[in-house]
Amino acid sequence: MHVRTWADRINNLREINTLRNQIFVGFTLTMILVLIFAGAFIYGEVSVLLKQSAEKHIQQTAIQANGRLDVLLEQIDSLTTQVVTDSYVQKLLLKEAKGMPSNFNERQSLLQIANNYMAYSAGISSLELYTLDNRRLFPLDDASIKRISMNALTQADERKGRIAWVGIDPRVPDTVLAIRRINLLDNSYLPGGYLVVHVYREYFNMYESEAEKEKNPFRSRELMLLSDSEGNPIISDIDDEAAKAVLAQTGSTVTLEQESMLAVRQHSKLADWKLVLLMPVEAATEGISVLRTAIYVSIGIAALAFLLLTLPLSTMITRPIQQLMRSMRRARFGGLRVIPDGPNYFQTLEINELNNTYNQMVTHMNELIQVVYEKEITQSRTELKALQAQINPHFLFNTLEAFYWSLEEKEESELAQTILAMSGLFRYVIGSAADNDERVTIRDELEHAQRYLQIMKMRLIDRLHWSIEADEQLLQVPIPKLIIQPLVENAILHGVESRISPGSVTIRVFSVKPGFATIAVIDDGVGMDGEALAKLMQSIEGVPSKEPRKGAGVAMSNVQRRLKLYYPNTGERGSGLQIDSKAGAGTTVSFDITIPPEGDGLS
């Protein structure tokens, strides 16, 4: 039985993870993703269009239905206007208003008038005529207007002669009640009575015939709901409880018996009624399922076609590269060799350019190998000579020590102390060659500055006076090495040596803010004006200047960079050097350092 090794598995993975397979898979996945996104976009857009189309259709239907409702209401309004302005009705109510009750024959005559007007509209169930003292003149009985609710009478009075649609008559649920106050034309339009109209609820059915509904697929799925001002259904294709539940909902989509319905609402200003048309959302978007199937089929066909086309395309792209790889492998075993031009090995401009670039790289690398080989020989010889010429620093220290003891024997103590200071100076500086930024204590830095001042004192004699004032509690604070001596050197060079009379240099170490220490180097030299100070700060910050300041070397700039590196944020004054100077008043160069918490100093 053959057992596959890890090497075999790795080789198989390498064979799978080829450029050809990557191009094949990458192109195929890209096209499939593009097709999916395009299909999703088209599906979403068409779905929205179908839904908007359905909403637009149902909206148009609702507007038309509301228009038909207004026509029906206007017919009743026009008919009742004719009744209340009829000359006989006006004459009879005026007589009643003057206190002369109507007799039976006069009331009997109202029957003919009511029948004549009711003949013009099949929707009116009955007409009733009442006087202001709650007596009914027509029909011929003794019923009182009190059978009508006071709310309905109030609505009629508020309408001041216009018809008031009260709603469904609680005594006759199949009819809708409307009341109109009768104003007497010959009595200054004073109220003379009330006209009560009962209209069949079916009169407000605005659907066309069943045959016409079946011709329109959308109309066959529509439901209509008409309610009065109190929210009671007048005409409804659903039961009253479901209708009230729909009326209580808001928004363009409502839920009817766990089914989502598109809802379009219209309001009739004539009767303060609400018309609602409903259509199932599924009916509005029933074409989406067909669209979804078409998109799925299109994506599948396109993906299959692209899959079949991508395989030969990836082979055509990668074949020249594979030929180049084989040439490079052969060159690896025999050293770097230029690939000879063959008869049409590379058919594309890019592959030809890659071949030429490889040949140029091989030629250049062979040249570099020769140059590196020669440089290594030269460097070996140079290092040998440098090793032979190297002076051991300890030999220099021992020599200075010999000078010191020789001067002590000759009782040249002052010169001996200078030699001793110079030896300590060299030890301090040379000891930092391995790491110029190692930390020391402020005490070490002040001792180094003191040795430097001693040496300069010997050179300047009485022209230099110096002092060091330091807070004893700050002497153990860590500080970067060689950070104070360059400032002292600058103070002597530009402060003391630039004046004829003796000068002084003072080093102060103090703390004015908890957590921070200030180190200042003060001289009483000639100072500088604002322009010279600005140029000096530019030089220290490394800003190029057309007129560089004499003596502004790299020492101050180096100190500035190291301070900003070690102390990037030292309070209100900012990090780095702070220079205060005025012409003829000396110069103060200071900087702030942070005091680490106890236990975080030098180890």
CA distance 71 to 163: 15
Three-state secondary-structure class, residue 250: coil
Six token digits for residue 392: 């051991």
Integer CA distances (angstroms), 503 to 366, 412, 498, in order:
66, 26, 9
DSSP E strands in 461-525: the ranges are 464-470, 478-480, 503-513, 516-523
The pLDDT value recorded for residue 308 is: 78
User: Taking a C-beta distance cutoff of 8 angstroms, is the pair 265, 236 a contact?
Assistant: no
How confident is the model at residue 433, as a pLDDT? 43
DSSP letter at 135?
A: B
Query: Given this model, what pLDDT does residue 345 score?
Result: 44
Tokens of 436: 């110029």
Query: With contact defined as beta carbons under 8 Å apart, do 494 and 527 qualify?
Result: no
Q: How far is CA 61 from CA 72, 222, 237, 265, 592, in A?
A: 17, 10, 16, 11, 84
Distance of CA 263 to the CA centre of its chain: 36
Domains detected in the chain: 85-204 (3.30.450.20), 462-594 (3.30.565.10)
Two tokens, residue 270: 């004539």
Contact criterion met (CB below 8 Å) for 194 and 182: yes
Edge-to-edge, what's the strand order for the sheet holding 136-138?
136-138, 124-131, 190-200, 175-184, 164-168
- The reported pLDDT for the residue numbered 402 is 59
Predicted confidence at residue 372, as pLDDT, reads 75
pLDDT in the model for residue 333: 59
Taken in order 407, 413, 414, 418, the sign of the CA dihedral is positive
Please count the other Cβ atoms lying within 10 Å of the Cβ belonging to residue 380.
9
d(CA 393, CA 433): 11
For the full predicted model, state whether its pTM sits above 0.85: no
Determine the residue type at 434: A
pLDDT of residue 507: 95
Handedness of CA 497, 498, 501, 506 (dihedral sign): negative
* DSSP-derived 3-state class of residue 182: strand
The CA–CA distances, whole Å, from 220 to 50, 56, 224 equal 18, 16, 11
Nearest of 65, 63, 58 to residue 262 by alpha carbon: 58
How far is 560 from 159, CA to CA, in rounded Å?
93
Distance in Å from the first CA to the final CA of the chain: 67
**pLDDT less than 70: residues of the chain:** 1-17, 19-20, 142-147, 207-220, 284-287, 316-317, 319-320, 323-324, 326-328, 330-351, 375, 378-416, 424-425, 429-437, 544-554, 571-574, 599-603
Q: Are 404 and 443 in contact (CB under 8 A)?
A: no
CB atoms within 10 A of CB 262: 22
